Amino acid sequence: MSGDDTRPAAGRPDPSRPKFFGRRKGKGLKPTQQRLLSEALPRFRLSTDAPVGDPSACFDAEVRAVWLEIGFGAGEHLLAQARANPDIGLIGCEPFVNGVAKVLQAVEAEPELGNRLRLFDDDARLLLRALPEASIDRLFILFPDPWPKRRHWMRRIVGPETIPAFARVLKPGGLMRLATDHPGYLDWMLFHLTVDRAGRASFDWLDEGPSDWSRREDDWPGTRYEQKALAGVPTYLRFRRR
């Protein structure tokens, strides 16, 4: 379902925005979460109202690299990476406000994390447009919505329209990690990244066999959604920007 925020105040569709599909909000927010969204989120929000510039300069601490996670869900992976990598700046994209609120709760409990964390609570495609070329060192897209119906395939966040954007923002040699538990989406990802000309020209697939794509690396934290995915056959993919 398209979000109402694709329409400006006058009520007409904004042609500059991609059409958004998916939920913005789930069950009711607790008062503490509502407070954090209104008071804390503006401090950590990365805005695309103006060109982003060098993303490493948007953090309150000096960082040696910038990693981007698209669709961080409840934030388990994002926060685990922030805790494990004190010299990395992390940008998390998630339009689902319940997930954003959970990350803000963690930052309130561990304020140091906020020095190296920025959030984008809108459509990730808008951020991909705004980021400078070759500005991201690592990209994570873990268990995104598979949109299984054929008529919805073009809504998938990994596809022919977004792969060139991933290639544009990743630095040469930058890593991209993907994961899915949906066989059809796995085939789709591999086709567009290893067979289709645009993906094949931009990325090298680093996995060599089932022992690689059937397990996470040690520095790849798990999530609650992944625990559900383990009931199926989760696949972990690793690509390097050429």
Q: Residues 205-231: what's their mean pLDDT? A: 82
137 is catalytic: no
Q: Which CATH superfamily is domain 56-241 in?
A: Vaccinia Virus protein VP39 (3.40.50.150)
**218 labelled ligand-binding:** no
pLDDT level of residue 192 (50, 70, 90 thresholds): very high
**69 labelled ligand-binding:** yes
Spatial separation of the C-alpha atoms in residues 145 and 234, rounded to whole Å: 14
Q: Is the pLDDT of residue 27 over 50?
A: yes
User: What value does the CA radius of gyration of the chain take, rounded to a whole number of Å?
Assistant: 17
Spatial separation of the C-alpha atoms in residues 164 and 232, rounded to whole Å: 30
**162 labelled ligand-binding:** no
For residue 226, give both structure tokens.
């992944």
Catalytic option among 4, 49, 145, 218 = 145
Q: Is the pLDDT of residue 229 over 50?
A: yes
Prediction pTM value = 0.87
Listed by start position, the domains of the chain span: 56-241
Dihedral sign, Cα of residue 28, residue 30, residue 31, residue 37: negative
Spatial separation of the C-alpha atoms in residues 91 and 76, rounded to whole Å: 14
Percent of the chain with pLDDT over 90: 70
